[in-house]
Amino acid sequence: MSSQDSAEIKVQINSISVVYKPQHLTSSFNYMSPNPPVPKPPEIDPSHVHLHVVPLVDELRDCVGGSILIRKDDVRRLNLMVGDTVTLKITKS
């Protein structure tokens, strides 16, 4: 793989937040029924988190940043915390 197939960017972790499992609303509601359906609370995905990052490159200083879905195990293994600086590598497949 040549160096043209990948790129790297330094970012800082702004926050780490939970990921909610998608909910599919399949119940129908009849306005004549006495009790409306009670929505279920959202479930947290136990295996993933969102890393919210901002770029540390001068040309991208004013960018908003983004969110990356990552496994919780990797966050623990790398001991990632808010404020840490990390390098993201993007590889063309």
Q: Convert the pLDDT of each residue in 31-75 to its tens digit.
A: 666 666 677 778 888 899 999 998 887 776 667 778 899 999 999
Total domains in the fold of the chain: 1
Residue 71 belongs to some domain of the structure: yes
Average pLDDT along the chain: 82
Phi, psi dihedral angles at 4 (to 5 degrees): -75, -10
Backbone φ and ψ for 67, nearest 5 degrees, come out as: -130, 140
Q: Please report whether residue 32 resides in a domain.
A: no
Which backbone phi and psi does 76 adopt, to 5 degrees?
-65, -45
Q: How confident is the model at residue 86 (pLDDT cuts 50, 70, 90)?
A: very high
Alpha-carbon gap, residue 67 to 62, rounded angstroms: 16
End-to-end CA separation in angstroms for the chain: 10
Q: What is the pLDDT of residue 57?
A: 77
Rg (CA), the chain: 20
pTM, rounded to two decimals: 0.68
Query: What CATH number corresponds to the domain at position 61?
Result: 2.40.50
Range of the domain at 65: 3-21+44-91
Confidence of residue 7 (pLDDT cuts 50, 70, 90): confident
